Amino acid sequence: MTTTKTAPAILFVCLGNICRSPLAEGILRKRWPNQGPSEPPIFDSAGLGSWHEGDPPDARAIRIARESGYEIAAQRARQVRSDDFDRFDLIFAMDRNTLTRLRDMRPSEDSLADLHLFLDYTENRVADVPDPFYGDETDFCAVVTLIEQAADGLIARATRAT
Ligand code: 4NP
């Protein structure tokens, strides 16, 4: 008999939810191995700010993602909400400033979600996924590479744990 484990829910958070966290959501969804007894996690993303609520990801993020094999155009930005801290098992901040803001927002010590810095899952010593919004395509490419490294680190850890 095969048993199916309940899928964890994972949220990625950055500032605007149009560049880094939608890329993380799309890259994890694509790279997560869809085999074995566990259901794949539920992936979502959100931003600290509400400026881009309802918007698709930045056109540069959509284009660079597509060139790397990830489709993120259907995602829509939203602001992080207090109930996210009980709807998600894990919340990953894309940089240290976001992690600090999320810790301040956390409604209770008893909230379900564990908060982590996303790049804690890479081997290298970079702490923050740099904000590419005011940068160029090279910056978006570097962000995709960093997120792919952290995604594979996260998948390796999750796979070892099951
Ligand atoms: P993100 O990038 O946090 O990676 O989505 C940004 C997008 C928009 C803004 C800032 C950062 N903004 O100020 O509108």
Clarify whether 14 is annotated catalytic: yes
The residue to mutate among 18, 48, 58, 119, having the most atoms of ligand 1 within 8 angstroms of its beta carbon, is 18
Ligand 1 atom 12, closest CA = 16
pLDDT tens-digit readout, 82-136: 999 999 999 999 999 999 999 999 999 899 999 999 999 887 778 999 999 999 9
Q: How many CB atoms lie within 10 A of CB 53?
A: 12
14 CA: nearest ligand 1 atom: 3
At 10-34, the pLDDT tens digits run: 999 999 999 999 999 999 999 999 8
Residue 83 annotated to the active site: no
19 is catalytic: no
